[in-house]
Amino acid sequence: MPVNVEHIEADLAVIGFGKGGKTLAATLGRQGRRVVMIEQSALMYGGTCINIGCVPTKSMVYRSEHLTPGGVYDDAYRSAVGATADLTTDLRAVNFAMLDNLDTVTVLTGHARFTDPHTLQVQTVDGATITVVAQSIVVGTGSRPVLPDIPGLASTPQVQTSTEMLSLPELPARLAVLGGGYVGLEFAAMYARYGSTVTVLERGSQILRREDADVSECLQDILRSSGIQIVTSAEVTSVSEVGPAAAVTYRAGGVEHTVEADAVLVALGREPVTDDLGLAEAGVETTSAGAIVVDEFLRSSQPHIFAVGDVNGGPQFTYISLDDYRVVLSQLTGDGSRSTATRTAVPYALFTTPPLARVGLTEGAAAAAGMDILVATLPVAAMATVPRARIVDETAGLMKVVVDASTDKILGAALLSYDSHEVINTVALAMRHGITATELRDTIYTHPSMTEAFNQLLGALAAPSSRSGA
């Protein structure tokens, strides 16, 4: 709705148009509450996910999977960038309208800063200064890529963050990826499918350092088979411009190496966006990493100020931000019983081809905790009862599950397989509701599907010491 006032009184003010904040704003707006949504950029209506995160990356991945591996697809890449931009533009408009069409909701585009615990001063993109006084305030300003203090990293023009890579107009012939985590590997796999020559430099001894070694090694083999060079135990020491390219210097095995690239993706983590919000003036505490300190109800050190999504230092997933909304809604209009303490079995997925999805404990974590466990690990290609993988010609990967030997409860699973991002939700649901491994093994699934893999996978459970090769 149009804004031509200098002072607004509201029941709720939300800083940041992300999943948790926008859903809360829409819900309370429909209830007749006076809500103000403040978003710094019109290019971010709807939040990180639809603009520079989940949606555009998966759009690019989806289009890359329709290409025959081994070719160079400059035209297809440019087409994918254009189609993805159209997609995000449409979603931005839908998200903006979702709030702007509500008479009780005012959307302000500009930068918000606390001047006291209940007051925000908003400098709009139109040059106006608007004061917003709200009974409750939700901060959902998200996170941004970290640029470590590596010589030349910040000043070399070929260096890109994940945000910038999504709108890179031309396919880089050579791509260097700094970081072998989820973001780095997703982009590495995607760009390799479009035809870039990709080198991944990972500081740790393995990619995906939080995963079991067998899972990490299996994905590494898949990526290398697609032409990606992966260097582990690689410490990047400098980045510099060499003509139209960048030179990345790193040490590995005690020897200095250099790789040249037309683009360098920095995928070395993300940090909460909390600078210049005036949190000190509001009396809101932050961690040393800049995250807003919250309790299990997402209340900050000021009980009427909440933090949702990446900015509170929790798991950086859109669906966690959505659950944050449920927690805050319970505080503002419900019985206050919902909290982050009740969350269990939160799954996540890496959209390589095939995707890797995981939930719960790894085998290593369960063993380190001294738990008596049973483990089953099967290569997808060896699972005769899972014809779906053969039908779609995607037999790479493995499936792994960890079970408590005494209770038959599922402790965790890692699925590196076709459709794993869907199948993992079945495991997570079973874990949340105490469904045993035996029940999951003996239930009836549609055929042919990837879910029916549990019939065979859970039938292969054995103690770690008795497994072949253990």
* 439 is an annotated ligand-binding site residue: no
CA–CA distance, 302 with 212 (Å, rounded to integer): 40
135-144, 260-269, 289-298, 458-467: lowest mean pLDDT where?
Answer: 458-467
Q: What is the pLDDT of residues 270-280, one digit of tens each?
A: 999 999 999 99
**Residue 150 pLDDT more than 70?**
yes
Q: What is the pLDDT of residues 381-404, one digit of tens each?
A: 999 889 999 999 999 999 999 999
Q: Kindly report, residue by residue over 8-63, the tens digit of the pLDDT.
A: 999 999 999 999 999 999 999 999 999 999 999 999 999 999 999 999 999 999 99
- pLDDT digits 0-9 by tens, 52-106: 999 999 999 999 999 999 999 999 999 999 999 999 999 999 999 999 999 999 9
pLDDT per residue as tens digits for the range 294-347: 999 999 999 999 999 999 998 888 889 999 999 999 999 999 999 999 899 999
Residue 316's pLDDT is 84
Residues serving a catalytic function are 447
> Do 441 and 458 form a contact (C-beta atoms < 8 A)?
yes
Q: Domain spanning 348-461: which superfamily?
A: FAD/NAD-linked reductase, C-terminal dimerisation domain (3.30.390.30)
- 310 annotated among ligand-binding-site residues: yes
| Predicted pLDDT of residue 384 | 87
161 marked among binding-site residues: no
On whether 221 is known to bind a ligand per the annotation, the reply is: no
Q: Domain ranges for the chain, please list them.
A: 7-144+271-342, 159-268, 348-461
pLDDT tens digit sequence for 110-127: 999 999 999 999 999 999
122 is in an annotated binding site: no
Q: Is 180 annotated as a binding residue?
A: yes
Tell whether residue 194 is among the known ligand binding residues. Answer: no
Residue 393 counted as an annotated binding residue? no
Asked whether the predicted pLDDT for residue 4 surpasses 80, the reply is no
CATH topology of domain 159-268: FAD/NAD(P)-binding domain (3.50.50)
Q: What is the average per-residue pLDDT within 232-257?
A: 97
> Does pLDDT of 470 surpass 50?
no
User: Same topology for domains 159-268 and 348-461, yes or no?
Assistant: no
Residue at token pair 């408009």: 93
- 370 among annotated binding-site residues: no
Identify the CATH number of the domain defined by range 7-144+271-342: 3.50.50.60
Please tell me whether 141 is known to bind a ligand.
Answer: yes
Specify whether the backbone of 205 is left (phi greater than 0), alpha (psi in -120 to 50) or beta: alpha
181 is in an annotated binding site: yes
Q: Look at residue 389 in the predicted model and tell me its pLDDT.
A: 95
Locus of tokens 């600078």? 275
Read off the amino acid at residue 262: D
Is 182 annotated for ligand binding? yes
